[in-house]
Amino acid sequence: MKLHVRAAVPRLQCAWLGLLLLSSGWVQLGCSMEVMVQPYVVKLNGTSAKLTCTFISCYDVNEKRFSLNWTYFECENCTQDLFVHFRRKVIIPRTDHFSGRVEWSGNLNKNDVSVTIHDIQLTDEGFYNCSVLNPPDRHNGWGLIFLKVVTEVTPERDSTVAVIIGASVGGFLAVVILILVIVKCVRRKKKQDHQSEDQKTEEEGKTDGEGNQEEDGRQH
C-alpha cells in the first residue's frame, strides 16, 4: 500500500504568497490542501465504525463548488466503489454492498466529511478513500483508511500479578541498595576512625620522642 502525503500550507502563508504574486501580475496561486484520517481502524463485527476524515484548505468551503468522494475497495488493485459523494449536497447512493448502512457524520462548517458505517460485516474489511476538492484549490486531497473487522475483542491481560511482582522486585532492590549504602558508610566511618587513631598515635610518638630527648639533655 502506497500513501502519498501532500505538504500542508498555512492559510496566512497562502494568502501572503497569493497577494504577492497577484500584485506582481504573475499567476493566480492555488494552494494545495491537507486531508487527515486515522489510517488504521479496528472494529468488532456487528458494531458501527466511524471513518473520520477532516481537511485543511486555504479557502472557505463553497458548497456549489466543493466536491467529495468516499470510495471502498477490497484490495489495492481492486475496483473502487463509490458509496458517498457531495455535489451541492450529501448523496449516499444505494449499493448492494452497504445496503443502507452508511450515515453522513460530517459537518462542512468544521471541514469535517466523516461517515459512519453501521452493522459492520466481515466483507466490509478493506480500504476506504476520502477524496476532497475545495476550489479554488487546484488539486484534491485524499486520505486512505484500512478498516480491520474482527469477530472478537482481544481481552486485556490481567496485569495484577505483574504489578505485584514488579512492586516486590522494586522493593527488594530498594532494600538491597539501602543496605549497600549503609555498609559503605560504616566502612568509610571505620576507615576514617582508623586513620584518625593512627595519626593520633604517630603524633603521640613524636611528642614522646621529643620529651625523651629533652630529658636526656638535662641528665647530661
pLDDT tens digit sequence for 57-76: 989 999 999 999 999 999 88
Within this chain, do residues 145 and 166 fall inside the same structural domain, yes or no?
A: no
pLDDT for 211 equals 55
Domain membership of residue 1 (yes or no) is no
**Domain identity same for 180 and 123:** no
Residue 143 CB neighbours (<10 A): 23
Q: Are residues 129 and 24 in the same domain?
A: yes
Range of the domain at 182: 161-200
What's the order of all strands across the beta sheet hosting 102-104?
A: 49-51, 115-117, 102-104
Does some domain include residue 212? no
Residue percentage of the chain with pLDDT more than 70: 55
Pairwise pLDDT comparison (15 vs 159), residue with the higher score = 159
Question: Domain check: are 175 and 68 in the same one?
Answer: no
User: Which CATH number do you get for residue 103?
Assistant: 2.60.40.10
For the ranges 10-19, 79-88, 178-187, the lowest mean pLDDT is seen at 10-19
Instruction: Please report which confidence band the pLDDT of residue 5 belongs to, taking 50, 70 and 90 as the band edges.
Output: very low
Across the range 65-89, mean pLDDT stands at: 93
Question: CB–CB of 58/14 below 8 Å?
Answer: yes
Tell whether 108 and 180 lie within a shared domain. no
For residues 24 and 133, membership in a common domain is answered with: yes
Average pLDDT, the chain: 75
Give me 180's grid cell: 549497600
Does residue 110 form part of some domain? yes
Q: 111 and 196: one domain?
A: no
HSE on the CB side for 184, CA within 13 Å? 6
Same structural domain for residues 89 and 193? Answer: no
Q: Is the pLDDT of residue 197 over 50?
A: yes
Q: Are residues 98 and 179 in the same domain?
A: no
For 129-161, what is each residue's pLDDT tens digit?
999 999 998 888 999 999 999 998 776 554 555
- Give the cell for residue 115: 461517515
3-state helix, strand, coil in the chain (%, to 5): 35, 25, 40
How many domains is the chain partitioned into structurally?
A: 2
189 and 141, same domain (yes or no):
no
Residues paired with residue 50 on neighbouring β-strands, in sequence order: 116
pLDDT at position 205? 65
Is 155 among the domain residues?
no
pTM above 0.75, yes or no: no
DSSP 3-state of 182: helix
Q: Confirm whether 6 is domain-assigned.
A: no
Q: What pLDDT is recorded for position 70?
A: 97
Query: Are residues 173 and 106 part of one domain?
Result: no
Residue 218 counted as domain residue: no
Closest by CA position to 103, among listed 147, 44, 50: 50
Is the same domain home to 142 and 35? yes
87, 122, 150 — which closes off a domain? 150
